[in-house]
Structure 1
Amino acid sequence: MKKYLLFLLLCTGEYAFAQQLAPLTVEKIMRDPKWMGVAPTNLRWTADSKTLYFNWNPENKAKEELFKVSATATKPIKAAEKEDEKLLSLNYTYNTDRSLGLIEKSGDIYLQNFKNNKETRLTSTQERENSPVFLTNGNIVYQLGDNLFEVDLKSAETKQLTNFVKGKKAGRPEARPLTEQDTWLKAQQTELFDIIKKRNAETRSGARGGRGRSGATSADSKPLKELYTEDKFLNGVTISPDGHFITYKLTTPAQNNHSTIVPNYITSSGYTEDIPGRTKVGENENISQGFIYDTQKDSVYAIQTATIPGIKDLPDYLKDYPKELDSLKKKNADRPVNFFGPIWNDNGSTAIVVATSTDNKDRWILKLDASTGNFSLVDRQHDEAWIGGPGISGFYQGNTGWIDNNRFYYQSEATGYSHLYVANAASGDKKQLTSGKWEVQSVQLSKDRSTFYLKTNKEHPGITNFFKISVNGGELVQITTMKGLNDITLSPDEKYIAINYSFMDKPGELYLQPNKVGAKAEKITQSTSAEFNSYKWRQPDMVSFKNRYGADVYARVYKSDNPHPNHPAVVFVHGAGYLQNVHFGWSTYFREFMFNNLLADNGYTVIDIDYTGSSGYGRDHRTGIYRHMGGKDLTDQVDGVKFLVEKYGVNPQHVGLYGGSYGGFITLMAMFNEADVFASGAALRSVTDWAHYNHGYTSNILNEPFNDPIAYKRSSPIYFADKLKGNLLMAHGMVDVNVHFQDIVRISQRFIELGKNNWELAVYPVEDHGFIEPSSWTDEYKRIFKLYENTLKK
């Protein structure tokens, strides 16, 4: 009996070991990602900084649950659902000494007194009050509907400050000239009636009062000025801290645009239903105009864009279109701009506006003279490609703010890398606080405004850590030291940091650390499953090579322990264009990471390249694709193959590539324009013609189709479809609202008309741009693997 039990145990152990060493398959890695384990998310501290809450699912349940851990502990415990929500740190707006805070909850305004820990509800209405702020006189202002209201905390009196009126001002009918008959009748009336004589006399003396206008707040108060919004959208209503100026924007909606539709074929009704879609690049944009209401003078005037330096400058690319350039020079018009702000200092003496040109070439930091609507320059960042980089944006104000009543901070790529600057709005002096061939990726000002906390990739483009530096400049001090990606959530008292830390083969886990130099980070969670841990995931080689232009290009290489005799290779091309995937952390492309391991297990060498246009490497790398997508970003893939041939012994006749979205676009361009390098390719959810993509992304890089057709024709795969030689697989979701299914249909028609035979299209009727269903992922990647097995090993 004992021998039998021993035999059974040995057999069971061997079976378990065999299960652990079972080869990777597409079916295994493309299951619901929960099989890998679920990492902690949504980290948030309590207001007293004693406890960290987070969402987690260590037991692989149907949905994640609420957990908490003490700032000084290492073991998390499960919390009751919605436990201690009142204790969580909230995003208050503070008064000057931070003794009081304002916050909106469910459409009502609450006042928090931090000295006695008392909360007072200020509004309780069916309508939504929002955006509460303190004035320097101690009163508060909030917005209700379109209008601002001021509350005197001492008297509890509420006063309306603005009177926005939809539509146009009803003007008096234009008076027609008086005829002789009119004049005679008017004189007769005065002659006959005493009441007419009396009223005429009162009008001349001003003694007779008129009727009160709409918007008056009380019998003894001055009627509110009517601020007409006409047929425009009102937004950005902001009051200065002293209550003197109210700024707002009126936006004219884009006219005559053509919105797209995406047909949905698999519906519960059984009928095809249309999903409303976006517009395409080059459509008309909304036009905004900024205004200032001077509450003391009771007058309104427009913000003057003409005072912005360089507002009439024209971009260099127009030199390729002499007629258009000459026409625009003659017009000599101001370029349209988007405004963010104003951002007022604490005492209300100075306002900063961040402005970006809609042609994406300029970003200005401007000091606003609110009494006139004119600007003076604090900083101008100009880029003949397009403005961008960490902390810099054309879609929001970026990482900006006041240190004190004179100093304003912002980020700029002036040196070629995004760094932190401080400008003195009074003197005009500017100071660069950080420098080097690395990027500041996030900025947080300490509560006492003495220190900046930064996330940077100073050590290596693929490693992020947490640093601090004085607002006056000086030494950059490193706080976290773990090699990988470190995303930080700082406690409200700034004594602790919660770290979402990951490494190449280790998904994100929660760590806690005192916010001190040299402190140790303690691991709190263990999230990966036993099945995930049973496979020895590769830590790819982190390499760099010089591309043909002499620039450093970084890559991950997945080596095969048993290369196939053909020594085949596959290039994985990440999506998004401006994204970083060659780093020491866990990839957001986790399915592709696992698939690359599967390929290496089956004898392939795989390379994953942060090609030109990727993030993390500064301005020149970011904008190297300007006016030619499929240029340097494509030749980087070719140069990467050359690197594999020279350093890893890859056979140049047996190379394939694959990628999704932007990666799918590069795959198509590679199969067309580098057909002698790539034998096969899988293009997933690919852009095939940039003139059919969206405006915000595409116009940055290629301008607009009607303004710069040269850029679109050399950047769009559909124009090169006749050059296809190798074996091409295309895959696309039919309800893709990002890269529309129309894209892949149009290029398929080109292949049909060109008589191409070596291509196929797999369609996924229920999938959007990012696939959801494991069955779709599995089918797609089985096809990719089959393509390589049939073309790169034979």
Structure 2
Amino acid sequence: MKRLFAIALLGFGASLTQAAEQPTLELIMSDPDWIGNAPTEPYWADDGRSVYFRQKRSGEDFSDLYQLGLGGEAPAAVDEAQPPADSGHNKVYNAGRSRVAWIERGDVYLKDPVVGTVRRVTATSADESQLQFTPDGKSLQYERDGQFYHYTESDGSTALLTDIREGKNPDAKPDFDPLRAHHARNYRTVVEAERRRQAGQQADRQRDQRPDPVFLGDEYRVLERRLSPAGDVLALVVTDKDAETGRKGSMPNYVTADGYVAVREVRTRVGRNNQVPQQVLLVDLASGNIESVDTGALPGIDSDPLAALRKSALGWHVQRGADEAEVKEALEAPEQRDVSVNGLAFSPDGKTLALQFIANDFKDRWLATLATGGERAGKLQLQHRLSDEAWINWEYNQFGWLPDSQTLWFLSEESGYSHLYTKGIAERRARALTSGKFVVREPVIGPASQYAWVVSNRAHPGNYEIYRVPLAGGELEQVTDLDGVSQFALSPDGEKLLVSRSWFDRHADLYLGNSDGSGELSQLTNTVSERYDAIDWTVPEIVQVPSSHVDRPIYSKLYLPKDHDPEKSYPAVLFVHGAGYTQNAHMGWPYYFREFMFHTLLNEAGYVVLDMDYRASEGYGRDWRTSIYRQMGHPELEDYLDGIDFLVDRHGVDRQRIGIYGGSYGGFMTFMALFRAPDAFAAGAALRPVADWMHYENDYTRRILNTPLIDPEAFQRSSPINHVAGLKNPLLIASGMQDDNVFFQDSVLMVQRLLELKKPDFEMAIYPLDPHGFVNPESWLDEYRRIFRLMENNLK
């Protein structure tokens, strides 16, 4: 049943008294402060009677903190120079919830939520992190500068728990050396001086209650560290210190304060380095012993899921002139697959460590546990394995412990969609708490550990509501009914929800409701400006475009002119959202909010606009995501061609007057559209586009295309630079020169290829100071003026 939501407060809001104005490109592409600034990072006060949020200050690059009472008060600015009265955004509770701790501006604070007293635990120039309570709830642990500290509330004392050092122990007994032995026999004064020095160091450590240093040796570089709540074991994620990480790129900046060209290093390219394997070390803090966690027992760790591709790649490279022996040696599979550590979490009692490993070929994910004491100490016990012949998703990998220290919760795409599972570490099977052809994400375990609250698109792929499910098993129950895209923060007692909800044409604002779904939801803030609110924006319709290739529709946003008549003839513009993993055909405020406003302008100029969640988009499950495996740009183009048929058949679009544009992956797809289906598109604008996947970064590209060594055919078919010959119609390329995501070099290489093929109808726009996501309004304006002019000159 639809709930009506009453506006409890119009904070910074719109009165709808301002006369409507016509949007212009200059307004749309100006500093977005004119739209109003949404509340961000919302969280609860400790007593549950008010909430906090941050809001960007207009005209600045920083935000202010506000407190908002739930009785209808106006938001009040918080003086952040004063000691905090409430715990912050990222807080931790002890087991009995009698204490709450948090880190604010790099320092640790501790509060008794019943009495209300706040104690500042640290006041250092360094930043503390990894805050947690000990199992008895009476002490805190935190990390600073790579070492862990123990704070005891009862006496206010702080003790150093770890002294972990990379490199060799300078006081370790050296290997036998006859010269050293000769001097030891003959010069007792030297020997005695060294003994006294070491004895003095030991006495100092004992007097100051400092732990003995633990030296890791010269071979390791520490990437991550986790301390057991019991304070007895430290887990370290390490790599080989001397591992070859590959040659980095360089990026010049020609517009500088001193007038000289500044050059900085940027990332390596896919396949140009061997992804450095990681391993986990367990340090016994009492003895200083170091033990390496053996991953050799993980199922499938010694298999080679790329064996067939290696065989095919050998022939491909040799046919193109490579030396067979050299290629064969380069393609040799490892005896055991390398892994990376994707998460570490000690159980609340500190007795068990949960670890998540992902194979460096991205075909497997393992969730495992190991006991930190007893006869099974250091031996991995598999809890869950997720395999994918394409790639393990970079989303939906969260996991954690329930308070009993015997049960894990985790997300998995095992069913084809992200769902929530629990598993007792001594049990054989996991329990699926949710199931169905929809996505579950952002789980929060309630304070009583009776329910988990999640965000899900169960009702519609583009509608993200909040649900709860009993941890003991039961029905998934919807607890909000706002429509749009929602996120939430659970109140300290678990009874209320602070909801951040956005709509097609409105950025996120805050709502309040009961966590069990009872009663009405009330709106707490309205931060959209009067000027924005007064404009009659086109609110798109989400349509289901029939697919001619899969038995599922392609959900898309359709923008129609307000006087649209399907019997008339219209030009159309297709927008391609970026990838990484994105969904844009949803009911919330889009990441591409400038493009949303631009589409209203296009509608007013007489264009129909279609924005498609092509195959590879988020929100539609594993199969939709992985359909581009080894063939980027091919299924997506098929979807856009189906989109053209849909517009022509149902919405009066002229097939000869269709343009396409997009940025990043959208720029890549614009290339593929104009090169591989040149007769379908009259013009296209490729913004910050990928031209050659061999120049992109490792983690993203290797998942989808493997590497250029192992899967050269995938790179050949997926890179636009190999399809340039097909270009027939006008092309705009626009790139920021400070783009450290898709390098400016990609656009330069594309221009060179266009020149070599003597293509006559393209132009290049460069933006010297802008990164991947433009930051300068004048650059946004220039870019979209060019896009609009391109469409006007070629589609009208």
> TM-score per shorter chain, which class?
0.7 to 0.9
Does 1:239 pair with 2:237?
A: no
Alignment-derived partner of residue 512 in structure 1? 512
Partner SS, residue 337 of structure 2: coil
**Could you tell me how far apart the structure 2 residues matched to 1:268 and 1:157 are?**
49
Q: 1:680 deviation in Å?
A: 0.8
**Could you tell me how far apart the structure 2 residues matched to 1:583 and 1:769 are?**
24
Decide which moves more: 687-696 or 504-513.
504-513
Alignment-derived partner of residue 333 in structure 1? 335
Please list, as runs of the form range in 1=range in 2, the aligned pairs for 1:294-373 lying within 5 A after superposition: 294-295=284-285, 298-316=288-306, 318-319=308-309, 321-322=311-312, 333-371=335-373, 372-373=377-378
**Could you tell me how far apart the structure 2 residues matched to 1:665 and 1:642 are?**
22
Alignment-derived partner of residue 5 in structure 1? none
Q: 1:572 deviation in Å?
A: 0.7
Rg comparison, structure with higher value = 1
Alignment-derived partner of residue 382 in structure 1? 387
Q: 1:419 deviation in Å?
A: 0.2
Please list, as runs of the form range in 1=range in 2, the aligned pairs for 1:40-59 lying within 5 A after superposition: 40-56=39-55
Q: 1:413 deviation in Å?
A: 0.5
Closer, same or farther in 2 for the Cα pair 1:730/1:317, shift >3 Å? farther
Closer, same or farther in 2 for the Cα pair 1:568/1:176, shift >3 Å? closer
Alignment-derived partner of residue 261 in structure 2? 272
Q: Which has the higher contact order (CA 8 A, sep 6+)?
A: 2
Closer, same or farther in 2 for the Cα pair 1:317/1:512, shift >3 Å? farther
Alignment-derived partner of residue 86 in structure 1? 84
Decide which moves more: 735-744 or 336-345.
336-345
**Could you tell me how far apart the structure 1 residues matched to 2:471 and 2:104 are?**
33
Partner SS, residue 429 of structure 1: coil
**Could you tell me how far apart the structure 2 residues matched to 1:165 and 1:215 are?**
17
Closer, same or farther in 2 for the Cα pair 1:782/1:404, shift >3 Å? same
Alignment-derived partner of residue 74 in structure 2? 76
Alignment-derived partner of residue 98 in structure 1? 97
Kept after mapping to 1: 8 A contact 2:313/2:711? no
Please list, as runs of the form range in 1=range in 2, the aligned pairs for 1:243-254 lying within 5 A after superposition: 243-253=231-241, 254=243
Decide which moves more: 89-98 or 536-545.
89-98
Does 1:528 pair with 2:525?
A: no
Q: 1:308 deviation in Å?
A: 1.3
**Could you tell me how far apart the structure 2 residues matched to 1:373 and 1:491 are?**
38
Does 1:761 pair with 2:749?
A: no
Decide which of 270, 279, 297 is 1:281's aligned counterpart.
270
Partner SS, residue 787 of structure 1: helix
The aligned amino acid for 1:522 is S
Closer, same or farther in 2 for the Cα pair 1:614/1:529, shift >3 Å? same
Kept after mapping to 2: 8 A contact 1:403/1:409? no
Does 1:472 pair with 2:475?
A: no
**Could you tell me how far apart the structure 1 residues matched to 2:522 and 2:210 are?**
63
**Could you tell me how far apart the structure 2 residues matched to 1:406 and 1:649 are?**
61
Closer, same or farther in 2 for the Cα pair 1:778/1:373, shift >3 Å? same
Partner SS, residue 641 of structure 2: helix
Alignment-derived partner of residue 10 in structure 1? none
Does 1:697 pair with 2:707?
A: no
The aligned amino acid for 2:436 is G
The aligned amino acid for 1:656 is G
Closer, same or farther in 2 for the Cα pair 1:64/1:123, shift >3 Å? closer
Does 1:503 pair with 2:503?
A: yes
Closer, same or farther in 2 for the Cα pair 1:95/1:271, shift >3 Å? same
Partner SS, residue 224 of structure 1: coil
The aligned amino acid for 2:50 is T
The aligned amino acid for 1:364 is W
Closer, same or farther in 2 for the Cα pair 1:490/1:762, shift >3 Å? same
**Could you tell me how far apart the structure 2 residues matched to 1:732 and 1:222 are?**
54
**Could you tell me how far apart the structure 2 residues matched to 1:727 and 1:543 are?**
29
Alignment-derived partner of residue 317 in structure 2? none
**Could you tell me how far apart the structure 2 residues matched to 1:63 and 1:143 are?**
27
**Could you tell me how far apart the structure 2 residues matched to 1:220 and 1:36 are?**
57
Decide which moves more: 44-53 or 89-98.
89-98
Closer, same or farther in 2 for the Cα pair 1:214/1:661, shift >3 Å? same
Please list, as runs of the form range in 1=range in 2, the aligned pairs for 1:160-309 lying within 5 A after superposition: 160-169=160-169, 172=173, 174-175=175-176, 212=199, 217-218=205-206, 224=212, 226-230=214-218, 232-253=220-241, 254-255=243-244, 257-284=246-273, 285-295=275-285, 298-309=288-299
Kept after mapping to 2: 8 A contact 1:555/1:582? yes
Kept after mapping to 1: 8 A contact 2:232/2:284? yes
Alignment-derived partner of residue 8 in structure 1? none
TM-superposition CA deviations, 1:563-606 (whole Å, max 9, x none): 69652111111112521110112222111112112222222211
Closer, same or farther in 2 for the Cα pair 1:267/1:678, shift >3 Å? same
Closer, same or farther in 2 for the Cα pair 1:212/1:571, shift >3 Å? same
Please list, as runs of the form range in 1=range in 2, the aligned pairs for 1:105-144 lying within 5 A after superposition: 105=104, 108-123=107-122, 130-136=129-135, 138-144=138-144
Please list, as runs of the form range in 1=range in 2, the aligned pairs for 1:490-639 lying within 5 A after superposition: 490-550=490-550, 551-560=552-561, 561-562=563-564, 566-639=569-642
Closer, same or farther in 2 for the Cα pair 1:60/1:425, shift >3 Å? same
Kept after mapping to 2: 8 A contact 1:31/1:774? yes
The aligned amino acid for 1:504 is F
Closer, same or farther in 2 for the Cα pair 1:150/1:570, shift >3 Å? closer
Decide which of 739, 742, 747 is 2:745's aligned counterpart.
742
Closer, same or farther in 2 for the Cα pair 1:581/1:223, shift >3 Å? closer
**Could you tell me how far apart the structure 1 residues matched to 2:251 and 2:207 are?**
57
Q: 1:32 deviation in Å?
A: 2.5
**Could you tell me how far apart the structure 1 residues matched to 2:340 and 2:640 are?**
37
Closer, same or farther in 2 for the Cα pair 1:344/1:649, shift >3 Å? same
Closer, same or farther in 2 for the Cα pair 1:776/1:168, shift >3 Å? same
Does 1:36 pair with 2:35?
A: yes
Q: 1:93 deviation in Å?
A: 3.6
Alignment-derived partner of residue 3 in structure 1? none
Kept after mapping to 2: 8 A contact 1:104/1:131? no
Kept after mapping to 1: 8 A contact 2:46/2:113? no
The aligned amino acid for 1:263 is P
Please list, as runs of the form range in 1=range in 2, the aligned pairs for 1:603-682 lying within 5 A after superposition: 603-682=606-685
Q: 1:612 deviation in Å?
A: 0.6
5+ residue gaps in structure 1? Answer: 1-16, 190-194, 200-207, 393-397
Cα RMSD after superposing both structures: 3.5
Partner SS, residue 625 of structure 2: helix
The aligned amino acid for 2:547 is N
Closer, same or farther in 2 for the Cα pair 1:577/1:635, shift >3 Å? farther
Please list, as runs of the form range in 1=range in 2, the aligned pairs for 1:770-789 lying within 5 A after superposition: 770-789=773-792
**Could you tell me how far apart the structure 1 residues matched to 2:621 and 2:25 are?**
36
Alignment-derived partner of residue 486 in structure 1? 486
TM-superposition CA deviations, 1:96-134 (whole Å, max 9, x none): 323234444555544434454444455555665543433
Q: 1:449 deviation in Å?
A: 1.1
The aligned amino acid for 1:634 is L
TM-superposition CA deviations, 1:539-562 (whole Å, max 9, x none): 222111232222321011112325
**Could you tell me how far apart the structure 1 residues matched to 2:776 and 2:285 are?**
57
Kept after mapping to 2: 8 A contact 1:214/1:224? no
**Could you tell me how far apart the structure 1 residues matched to 2:358 and 2:202 are?**
35
TM-score by length of 1: 0.86
Kept after mapping to 2: 8 A contact 1:679/1:727? yes
Partner SS, residue 723 of structure 2: helix
**Could you tell me how far apart the structure 2 residues matched to 1:104 and 1:760 are?**
50
Closer, same or farther in 2 for the Cα pair 1:788/1:64, shift >3 Å? same
